[in-house]
Chains A and B, each alone.
Chain A
Amino acid sequence: MSDKTILLDHGSGGLASQELIRSLFLKYLDNEVLRGLEDSAVLTNQAGNLVFTTDSYVVDPLFFPGGDIGKLAVHGTINDLAMRGGRPLCLSLGLILEEGLALDELEKIIISVAEASSSSGVPIVTGDTKVVPKGKADKCFINTSGIGLVDPALSLSSKNGKAGDVVILSGSMGDHGITIMTRRAGIALEGNLRSDTAPLHRLVERVLTGFPSAVRTFRDPTRGGVATTLNEIAEASGLCIELEEERLPIKAEVRAACEILGLEPLYLANEGKCLAVVDGEAADDIVSLMRDTDEGREAVIIGRLTAGKAGRVLINTPIGGARVVTPLHGEPLPRIC
């Protein structure tokens, strides 16, 4: 391609659009369904209940340690399908580009989408691109929607929690949120801060195959963090959740950054972690199984559901005291995913 930046013409639907589709999107995302370039994708011979979700990605910066907006857009939507027990079938890819975006940046994003899609085994089967005048959007926004299949016998929901159930977190908290925030603030910290962006459908599938009746719900604690998601679970199940502060898995570099910036890891976004509410009897075995996967290597039990005050999340502190953990309340966090 001769043009170095995205022009309004690239979103016109005319020749420049077609050139972009062939030289970039099809080059990296090619598959039998997408190749047809029809108005919509036909998914043949599917049997079972469908799960369907959509999410938009506006992260700034576009590229960050551990990932970029492309990876995030693929993994995030796969994870939303997986949290309901869905086996992801395919994704759509909608791009809103700002006029003047460097073409090689877009190429890097599309290569990343392609890698994430192929390593997850979930193809992009339909897409769309719009270009808006400079200043009307911030470089690149992505929307992905996803469709998956779910076993009709399975009914995962936060409402299913019972007193005595155990809360498992699949790994360390806050890696993504703190990586984005320190990047944006221009704070260079020693250590290895990286986004945790990762697809969770394989971990979910293994747990559901091994323990089909022990799992009440999976949730991915993205924006609002573990604290906000647990409040939603406590609310929906009408139970209290008690956490043990000393068990919360937080990487040393994340803790250090939080101390400097005055943030709490419980409220930071995660993009490759899930919370599982499971039958207390099976909890230890499920943790062992999770630890056997790449995505769940640091899985731990962080608390349990109790018959205490409905909708409340409490944390037991190291000194033997306790405090309430409220959901995130409009703190001035910059947008992070």
Chain B
Amino acid sequence: MKHIDEYRDSALVRPLVDELKNSLTRPVRLMEVCGTHTMSIFRSGIRTILPEGMEIVSGPGCPVCVTSASHMDVFIQMAELDHVRVAIFGDLFRVPGSNGSLANASSRGAKVDVVYSPMDGLELARKNPDDLVVFLGVGFETTTPGIGATILAAAREDIDNFCVFSTHKVIPGPLEALMGDPELKINALLCPGHVSAIIGAGAYQPLVDKFGLACVVAGFEPADLLKGLILLARQVSSGKPQVENIYPRVVSWEGNRRAQAMLEEIFEPVDMEWRGLGMLPRSGLAIRDKYARFDAEKRLDITVIKVEEPKGCLCGAILKGRNTPPECPLFKSRCTPAMPIGPCMVSSEGTCAAYYKYGQDS
């Protein structure tokens, strides 16, 4: 398959493993902040061939995982309203709030539809004129443009029974706050490929300037990942940090200007609660007043009530890269993909799910 096979071909990829070993002269503790990177790294077996002196830490890159329990409670509360039908991406279905999940609500009769695209939410609205379809907006810059496009389509077609509850989040600001934490001791960043397609590789320049962080934007295939690690090792070894983009088939320096303009048109920055990281200033996106008719928060008069995270769950520390899943007392004992307690176990791109699924003791 084009654009996949050549990046997985063992004859091409195996020499990169040796090159990585030879490129590392100083210790690298790198963070990846993309759920798809987390999974691809495990899937390709990269953790088992890492040279001594290189450590990979997973950051807050899974949008479902950083969705707070308070927001999950609101989602469930909305789903249980008469004449409301919520549309979600599948990952959200089993994420626990403070008292059960959307899956539990669905079993009690709430209308919860798993969709593959936000546009399917619009289709649901057309088919169910007596229901208000609420799309639960969760995601980073990768997902938000698709939801923005759906809002524009709803406006164009004048579909009145569709709206979005936006808990959308942005990456650069929170990443900067996280990298400012000296305890993390991160000296390299594997920048998220999909998010970067929208925001552009240039968005990481402040991290280089401010923290001297080595930054490489990489794709998701074994060759992409290994090449990314090699460049990070070289930057750290040479003491010359910069932003390098080895995913030019998808990512440019400026990013997708049209998507950026659309986001600007529909959304405005707001303070947002992140699971594990708390309330971060201007880290979220709310729907502008101009599109208030598509804003579930305004239409349903919903108030978000702050709730505590589950007891004993280390998801917060894991999302910051301070702990790894096996260090959590609940990991694999009370918290499993079948009975998740924290969100990092539920999402297929969560760090705990990755550790559970692909094993860390292999």
Contact = CB atoms under 8 A, between A and B. Distances in A.
Interface stretch (A123-131, A288-296, A327-335): A327-335
A318 B42 contact: no
A317 B14 CA distance: 10
B338 A329 contact: yes
B184 to A, nearest CB: 26
A319 B14 contact: yes
B338 A319 contact: no
Contact of A320 (B10, B114, B338, B357): B10
B10 A252 contact: no
B219 to A, nearest CB: 13
A1 interface: no
A246 B45 contact: no
Contact of A332 (B44, B94, B359): B94
Interface string B263-304: 000000000000000000000000000000000000000000
Contacts of A310: none
A324 B332 CA distance: 15
B4 A259 contact: yes
A246 B13 CA distance: 13
B9 interface: yes
B74 interface: no
Contact of B356 (A256, A312, A326): A326
A319 B93 contact: no
A255 B45 CA distance: 19
Interface in B305-355: 336-338, 348
B49 A329 contact: no
- Which of A185, A319, A320 is most buried by chain B, counting CB atoms within 10 A of its CB? A319
Given A255-B1, A259-B4, A319-B17, A324 B10 contact: no
A179 B226 CA distance: 33
Nearest to A331: B348
B45 A319 contact: yes
B362 A319 contact: no
Given A320-B14, A320-B17, A329 B357 contact: yes
B37 to A, nearest CB: 14
Contacts of B14: 318-320
B211 interface: no
Contacts of A108: none
A255 B91 CA distance: 21
B190 to A, nearest CB: 16
B35 to A, nearest CB: 10
B47 interface: yes
A319 B21 CA distance: 14
Interface residues of B, number: 34
Interface in B133-153: none
A330 B103 CA distance: 12
B362 A322 contact: yes
B44 A319 contact: yes
B1 A256 contact: yes
B13 A323 contact: no
A319 B357 contact: no
B1 A320 contact: no
Most chain A CB within a 10 A radius of its CB, from B42, B45, B338: B45
A261 B356 CA distance: 21
Contact of A318 (B47, B116, B222, B359): B222
Contacts of B222: 317-319
A198 interface: no
Interface string A243-274: 00010000010011001011000000000000
Contacts of A252: 1
A74 interface: no
B202 interface: no
Interface residues of A, number: 26
A255 B94 CA distance: 26
A314 interface: yes
A246 B12 CA distance: 14
Contacts of B45: 315-317, 319-323
Interface string B48-73: 11000000000000000000000000
A15 interface: no
Contacts of A331: 337, 348
A315 B45 CA distance: 9
A322 to B, nearest CB: 5
Contacts of B47: 321
Given A246-B10, A329-B338, A314 B362 contact: yes
A322 B42 CA distance: 9
Nearest to A308: B362
Given A329-B336, A331-B348, A319 B1 contact: no
Nearest to B353: A329
A187 interface: yes
A62 B43 CA distance: 34
Contacts of B358: 323-324, 326
Given A330-B338, A332-B90, A323 B1 contact: no
B4 A319 contact: no
A173 to B, nearest CB: 15
Contacts of B16: 319
B116 A185 contact: yes
Contacts of A316: 45
A314 B361 CA distance: 11
B262 interface: no
B50 to A, nearest CB: 9
13 contacts: A255-B4, A259-B1, A317-B44, A319-B46, A320-B17, A320-B49, A321-B48, A323-B44, A323-B358, A323-B359, A323-B362, A329-B337, A332-B114
Interface of B: 1, 4, 8-10, 13-14, 16-17, 42-49, 90-91, 93-94, 114, 116, 222, 226, 336-338, 348, 356-359, 362
